[in-house]
């Protein structure tokens, strides 16, 4: 994905969540249910399935691309953030006791990675969901449109 498109999609997601927080003060229940539906779809059809499991080349290609985007946008970014936070925790602890200590790295890294991966998955859920829009005639696209209809009913929209 190009740098310009990536920054545009990040800005769109930020605007979406900023508007929710400005309007409601939090993520409302119906938006949270839509986010969970999109995340469940992406987990079931992209993350749990191998791209080779799909029958058509279009589904294989788009599931591979979506999985790769997930890997970089969620897994790698969460690991880098967790490494930075865990490294800072070790530095602070070493400064406090004035000797070399490495034990805070593992628990801080694990907790931060799990938290950050979840928050990044929620942040990018619309982008990942929209990447799977391959058409009604494919298994991937049909399942996406079923989830899209449920999300539209929850959010009382024509389309989002």
Residue 109 within any structural domain of the chain: yes
Give 28-54 pLDDT, tens digit per residue. 888 899 999 999 999 999 999 988 888
Q: What is the dihedral of CA 4, 7, 13, 18, to 10 degrees?
A: -130
Residue 129 within any structural domain of the chain: yes
- Give me the domain span that covers residue 98: 57-133
Q: What is the dihedral of CA 97, 98, 101, 103, to 10 degrees?
A: 20
Residue 18 within any structural domain of the chain: no
Q: What is the mean pLDDT of residues 61-87?
A: 95
What is the percent of the chain with per-residue pLDDT over 70, rounded to a whole number? 97
């Amino acid at each position: 994905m190009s740098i310009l498109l990536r920054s545009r999609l990040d800005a769109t997601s930020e605007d979406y969540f900023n508007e929710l927080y400005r309007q409601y003060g939090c993520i409302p229940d119906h938006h949270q249910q839509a986010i969970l539906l999109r995340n469940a779809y992406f987990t079931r059809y992209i993350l749990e399935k191998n791209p080779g499991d799909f029958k058509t080349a279009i589904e294989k290609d788009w599931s591979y691309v979506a999985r790769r985007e997930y890997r970089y946008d969620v897994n790698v970014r969460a690991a880098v953030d967790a490494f930075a936070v865990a490294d800072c925790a070790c530095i602070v602890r070493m400064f406090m006791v004035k000797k070399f200590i490495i034990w805070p790295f593992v628990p801080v890294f694990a907790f931060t990675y799990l938290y950050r991966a979840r928050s990044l998955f929620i942040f990018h859920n619309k982008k990942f969901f929209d990447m799977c829009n391959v058409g009604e005639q494919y298994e991937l696209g049909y399942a996406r449109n079923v989830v899209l209809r449920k999300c539209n009913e929850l959010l009382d929209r024509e389309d989002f």
